[in-house]
Chains A and B, each alone.
Chain A
Amino acid sequence: MAVEALVNKIIPFSSVDGPGNRTAVFLQGCNFDCRYCHNPETIHLCVSCGLCVEKCPTGALSWTDEPEDLREVRHRDGEERERGRLRPGYVRYDAAKCVLCDACIGNCPHGSSPRITHMTAEAVMKQVRRQMPYIRGITVSGGECTRQRDFLVGLFTLARAEGLDCLLDSNGTLDFSKDPELLAVTDGVMLDIKAFDAADHRLVTGHDNAMVLQNARYLASLGKLPEIRTVIVPGLFDGEESVRRTAGFLAPYLKAGAIRYKLIRYRPMGVRAQYAAHPTPDLAFMERLKRMVCEMGFTAVIA
């Protein structure tokens, strides 16, 4: 049976997920728990507790006994959540009735979303084809998309056969040096470097960054690192120091391929209330960071 992915959403035309116009596919589930995550509902998998069914004003969510609607993703890690279910069965999502009011997400105690579709690579490709020839490529993001790497290999193999450029948007926890099969069908990885210092990284994400940096260096040396991103959050960690060290770390590899440094201003939109107290960095500070990395040979944008 073809591998299915848990798809959170597909944006037909995206201007912010890599160069040019791309279809962006967002997969559900992430192994990081970043404090400033702007889409915290993409972190965890739905456990069909069913609390959202009652909250849905349009009847887009309902109960079903069909287990096919909640097939386990093969490559999620073993961590199983306690299922505080209201009743046996599964939550079913009907996109046609949904008005995207986010009542389900707002009431989810598990940091998840019931608006998830199980899709094979071919099913996703079918939706991508609708946008051709208006797009130059696709970007798979998340969540952390590499947790569903079998699906990625399947989708990218199909997409490349039709002339599309394929990018990943990753937190860098999959060891790319050990996955030549995935890299062979991936044109580039856009990597989040949340913080350069390991302690800062743990503070922001709850995880160490040794693998992230190893991947950054490995991908940069192959010329498969078109973009790195850092979210600048005043008060959480030293953004300037982190950006300087990250740029210094990767500068030697610029000859293998240009790297764009996307400097993202923290904004509280979508961030969980307990983490939303940080100020947005001012533009003058961002411009200074931009000048700094440009002088080190990167192209840079402020987002």
Chain B
Amino acid sequence: MREISMERVEQIRQDIYGTITSLTMTHEQKLTAMCNHADSLMEVLDLPEGLDELLNVPIEKKCICDLNEGHAPMRPRYIVPDYGKLMRDGCEFLKLDPPKDLQEALNALLIFYKHVPSVTNYPVFIGNLDQLIEPFLEGVDDETAFKAIRLFMMHIDRTIVDSFCHADIGPKPTRAGLLIMKAEAELEDATPNLTMRYDPEITSDEFALAGVDCALHSAKPSFANHKMFSSELGENYAIASCYNGLLIGGGSYTLCRLILNHIADRADSIEQFKKETLPYVLDIMARYMDARIKFMVEESNFFEYSFLVKEGFISKERFSAMYGLVGLAECVNTLFEKEGKEGRFGHNEEANQLGVEIMDIIEAFNNAHENPYCLGTGKRFLLHAQVGLAEDICTSPGTRIPIGEEPKELIDHLRVLEKFHKYFPSGTGDIFPIDITVHNNPEYVLDIVKGSFKEGIRYLSFYRGDSDVIRVTGYLVKRSEMEKLDRGEAVLQNTTGLGLGSAKYGKILERKVR
């Protein structure tokens, strides 16, 4: 452990005081913040040379960002338990027998969720929910099942107060899935996030259209290209947190992100960016992630003490890490401006092509970098198009076209996505607010999903243009709750604050309605 200065200690004391006296945080939010303050006193990681000037600088210069994971990570960022095991074997540590009926199953899940840590201290994955519940619906009538599932979903929203919590349904149509969507359409809650794993050969149109209908009420589910994800991660994968493809029974140790536009600011030319500036930062970020993972696995003792590991709900063999990036659009535009070239990302073929070349460089680097503990994915990190932070300014999530610059026609927008979604097995996604007239024609949305997945698009989200629940970047918030927070009132969900930041800086309320 390295020493830190008294000035820094004093600054953190000030921050702690600010948290204690805050008027807009709930008690739980204060506890989480206090944890982070404590962690920020630590200096235990074996950091690569050169990291400091890329990481610990004001946001407008930052090239690498560790997304507030802290200085001494005491658990993996994202944990994806094998809930199927809970259903089969119960849990010794939590004194839960294998559930025998619907009530016992839902109760076991709700108890288990309280004990799944993550970077947010709330579970970021709560199961392939319809598959978990379906066997217990045998002999239960619709009314009884619906009431139980509706209360279960409501319980999740009110107690897991962070909408990075994610449930999956599909690809096989299930009665449980239909009931979950019916409940979610009715509740219009932000949590949990929901993804339908969709494969036109497995998922029926009826099931998928129920998903579209639900999405037009509650901004969920999103649609994940099941063929694509399962070909990369195997059948036993989950969509967790925002839209992160991870292995069930494992998760992701860490997620750091490249802020590509700020890296471009350091280069004089496209050539220099590709040959020197970018590769230099790629290497430092990879070694920073290596250092974080090494501490977590070798020193933190997480894998020694956690009941999740001891009982086999997760194992090191199923873990990976996410090598993230943001700001590809602004990176390309910056480089074009530096060379006096006309055209912008998303509109100009040459600009899009530069985006592809940059992604090819990042992918080739990642394929060559070995991390000994990413055993779930062949000792490689998984690329991730990160959805941004509330404080990001002039930096678009992942490879998205900036809001306000979307191509006039949706088809031209989709043709750009086709080039970029393939790079990101651990997640990327695009979001489209949809005009209300589509209520008469949900097949319109499904046709777009079907076409997209044929063309190599990975993940799409839709919401109604005038919906209360909206998708911010990857997670969901209620407009009405943002307005409350903006008036200075405390709100239940942690993510509402992030959404408010994105509404102010990320222009998320100004997306082009399709």
Residues of chain A whose beta carbon lies under 8 Å from any beta carbon of chain B: 12-13, 15-16, 19-21, 130-136, 301, 303
Contact = CB atoms under 8 A, between A and B. Distances in A.
Given A21-B444, A131-B411, A16 B451 contact: no
11 contacts: A13-B410, A13-B411, A13-B444, A16-B437, A16-B440, A20-B444, A21-B443, A134-B451, A135-B451, A136-B447, A303-B440
Contacts of A133: 450-451, 454-455
Contact of A15 (B414, B437, B451, B455): B437
B259 to A, nearest CB: 32
A133 B415 CA distance: 11
A160 B343 CA distance: 37
B209 to A, nearest CB: 11
**Chain B CB within 10 A, most for which of A13, A16, A132, A303:** A13
A31 to B, nearest CB: 28
Interface of B: 409-411, 414, 435, 437-438, 440-441, 443-448, 450-452, 454-455, 514
A244 B443 CA distance: 28
A270 to B, nearest CB: 16
A19 B454 CA distance: 20
Nearest to A15: B444
Given A19-B443, A20-B447, 7 more contacts: A12-B411, A15-B438, A15-B441, A21-B447, A21-B448, A130-B411, A134-B452
Contacts of B454: 133
Nearest to A19: B443
Chain B interface, >50% SS class:
helix
Nearest to A14: B444
A12 B451 contact: no
A283 to B, nearest CB: 14
A76 to B, nearest CB: 30
A134 B448 contact: yes
A70 B66 CA distance: 63
Contacts of B452: 134
A135 B437 CA distance: 17
B105 to A, nearest CB: 37
B414 A16 contact: no
A166 to B, nearest CB: 15
A13 B409 contact: yes
A20 B208 CA distance: 13
A15 B441 CA distance: 7
A127 B334 CA distance: 33
Nearest to A260: B440
A16 B437 CA distance: 7
A303 B451 contact: no
A235 to B, nearest CB: 25
B15 to A, nearest CB: 49
